Amino acid sequence: MPDKRLTSILSSSSLLLFLPVIILNMSCNPSMQTYKRSQLLMGTIVEITVAADREETTDKAITAAFKEIRRLEEIMSTYIPSSDISMVNAAAGINPVKVHRDLILAVKKALEFADLSGGAFNISIGPAIDLWNVEKPERIPSEKDLAAIRPLTDYKNIIIDEGAGTLFLKKRGMKINLGGIGKGIAADYAYNILNQHGIKSGIIGVAGDLKAFGKRPDGKLWNVGITHPRRKGDIIANVHLTDMSISTSGDYERYFIKDGIRYHHILSPDTLYPSRGFQSVSIIAKDSTITDALSTAIFAMGPEKGLKLLEGLTDVEGIVVLEDGRIETSSGLKENKMIEVEIFK
């Protein structure tokens, strides 16, 4: 049965070779040109490719889109001490903090996905992310350390007061982190800016989150390759799409291996350990906010619960690589006329 909660969410709403998804080469016709620019934003390479016939107008549009992503970064990044989200985290257990409306909307959306996934999507897992910190020397947190921060990871202790425009974390030491949804939000906002500037065709890549709209200069759908999670430089699938978004979450971007065990950055809120069962999860839907959050949530849930959630959603498709390397797809993928997929097993 279609999930009515997702219907509500839908309605309310690296260089790329090294990203979980790869924009493949395209051919152009003489009447249109392809313009591509990239910037380092949100801790990753953001790449915007558009098809248009006027360079000056296109350059202004892409510049404005990058500016919008930087604006969001200054509001939502936990790496910027002066950001709204950093101020909320610093005031945890002390007082509500007045924040930008965009952060209110982002947190509200994140909490909807938390409810939809039974808590698997959890932006309050920040203290556990800090403990693991897989980008630094290999350290596995002790059970004692994890038990100490577990009370700080309950997303129901995030209080939104839309009237006052404030966010409040009820317990000292709580931290929220929008890493599982923020880049998807950025791609959607950048698309809105491009659209306002009259750009009708392009693809926006923010790490593993891509939004494609319109068609390529040759009239074909945009091509996106999904990175193979174990063979660098290879892809597991070629996805042709338009007016759709695709996001991939995987265990191969930020990780370390110790005693033969892979420890990665996507944590299970149940165990506060890296989630097991998938190598990667790619989700395809209309908006990047949705695909970003669902790819994270389904990965964190594991195959049994995650695939069950995927099959119960409308207008959402998926391609997953299980822990043993098998590739599975959602049952509706082949029938979706907005998407064409080639799987390489």
Q: What is the pLDDT of residue 192?
A: 98
Q: What is the pLDDT of residue 135?
A: 67
CA distance 38 to 86: 26
Question: What is the Cα 154 distance to its own chain's centre?
Answer: 21
For 32, which DSSP code?
-
Contact 37, 62 (CB under 8 A): yes
Strand order in the sheet with 244-250: 33-41, 44-52, 202-206, 209-213, 244-250, 278-285, 317-322, 327-329
Domain ranges in the chain?
1-345
CA distance 181 to 204: 15
Residue with token string 């350290």: 139
Q: What is the pLDDT of residue 138?
A: 76
Contact 226, 248 (CB under 8 A): yes
Q: What is the pLDDT of residue 53?
A: 86
CA distance 46 to 44: 6
Residue type, 107: V
Residue with token string 């219907």: 7
Residue type, 242: T
Question: Hey, how many other C-beta atoms are within 10 angstroms of the C-beta on 94?
Answer: 10
The H-or-E segment that residue 212 falls in is: strand 209-213
Rg of the Cα atoms in the chain: 20
Alpha-carbon distances of 264 from 52, 79, 122, 167, 252, rounded to whole Å = 40, 20, 16, 29, 7
For 209, which DSSP code?
E
Question: What is the Cα 239 distance to its own chain's centre?
Answer: 17
Q: Domain 1-345 sits in which CATH superfamily?
A: ApbE-like domains (3.10.520.10)
Q: What is the pLDDT of residue 19?
A: 42
List of residues 6+ apart from 134 with CB closer than 8 A: 254, 255, 256, 263, 264, 265
List of residues 6+ apart from 81 with CB closer than 8 A: none
List of residues 6+ apart from 320 with CB closer than 8 A: 278, 280, 281, 282, 298, 303, 306, 307, 327, 328, 329
Q: What is the pLDDT of residue 13?
A: 39
Give 315's Cβ-side CA count (13 Å radius).
17
- Record the tokens describing residue 275, joined without a space: 């989630």
Q: Mean pLDDT of residues grouped by 10 in the chain (345 residues)?
A: 42 37 48 89 95 89 98 97 98 98 98 97 94 78 95 97 98 97 98 97 94 93 94 94 96 88 92 96 98 98 97 96 96 87 89
List of residues 6+ apart from 61 with CB closer than 8 A: 50, 52, 193, 194, 197, 198, 199
